[in-house]
Amino acid sequence: MNVYSQTDIGLKRDSNQDYCIVGEFPDGSVWAVVCDGMGGANGGSTASRVAAENISDSLKSGYRDDMTPEEIRNLMQLSVEYANRAVYDISVHVPGLSGMGTTVVCAVVRKKRAHIVHAGDSRAYICSDEGVRQITTDHSVVQKLVDMGEITKEQARYHPNRNLITRALGTEPNIRTDYNTVEFEDGAKLVLCTDGMSGYITDDMLLEIIRQNASETLTEKLVERSKEMGGSDNITVAVIAD
């Protein structure tokens, strides 16, 4: 398997508060962490960097090639919990960083299985011959409105409160994450992204770009299309391909 990533400041922001780290384990399995910080330029960039680095370090130090699926899940969730505490402690003790936080979506792909942990509105999509499916569910105000049937998924894309999230790493001493697992078929692609991409790229657009481009160019093309569609936010994309 291969993993690719790219982050871009976008067209309208003065700083990039996204952070992404990807890598490969010794047995050939791969992982990726995507974070979208909040709390001002300094706070947001600090939160996303600290979270991504802590999660990555925990994954690399805790991973074994004989782990069961349940052990993979525990490792991922504990890694996010440790990172949450690291970000929270900094926000409490460092002047100027109070209240900072970050979304997170983290994936480990091994033995034809993708394991995903997330908090916030950064997303994971699985893309195969059958189409595109969003694996994660946003922890956001507009997602709650969609779930209650008050607005449609399309209306959520333009709702004035679309950037308000209901969960974030580092804002409280403890974090509650969602865990998902999905089969990773031959030829499949797993796409992780911040809302700088998902806010502009529809499922149909994502499928079209995937079908028209090689795996190694997908992150670049998705960033380019996000900017063509508006690019008002930082854009970060990671792609895991068979």
Helix (H) or strand (E) holding 181: strand 178-183
Structure tokens at 168: 């974030």
- pLDDT digit string, tens, across residues 47-75: 999 999 999 999 999 999 999 999 999 99
Helices and strands in the chain: count of H runs, count of E runs: 7, 10
- How far apart are alpha carbons 45 and 62 in whole angstroms? 26
Mean pLDDT over 2-18 rounds to 96
Of the CA atoms within 13 Å of residue 23, those in its CB half-sphere come to 15
How far is C-alpha 230 from the geometric centre of its chain's CA atoms?
A: 20
Cβ within 8 Å of residue 23, ≥6 positions away: 3, 30, 31, 32, 56, 60
pLDDT tens digits, 219-242? 999 999 999 999 999 999 999 998
Residues 23-34: what's their mean pLDDT?
97
Bridge partners, residue 165, by sequence: 140
Contact 108, 22 (CB under 8 A): no
- Region 202-224: mean pLDDT is 95
**Per-residue exposure over 194-207, b if at least 16 CB sit within 10 Å of its own CB, e if not:** bbbbbbbbeeeebb
pLDDT of 212 > 90? The answer is yes
The overall average pLDDT reported for the chain is 93
pLDDT at 211 over 80: yes
pLDDT in tens, 108-145: 999 999 999 999 999 999 998 789 999 999 998 887 87
Most confident of 37-41, 83-87, 96-100: 83-87
The second-level CATH assignment, the architecture, of 2-241 is 4-Layer Sandwich (3.60)
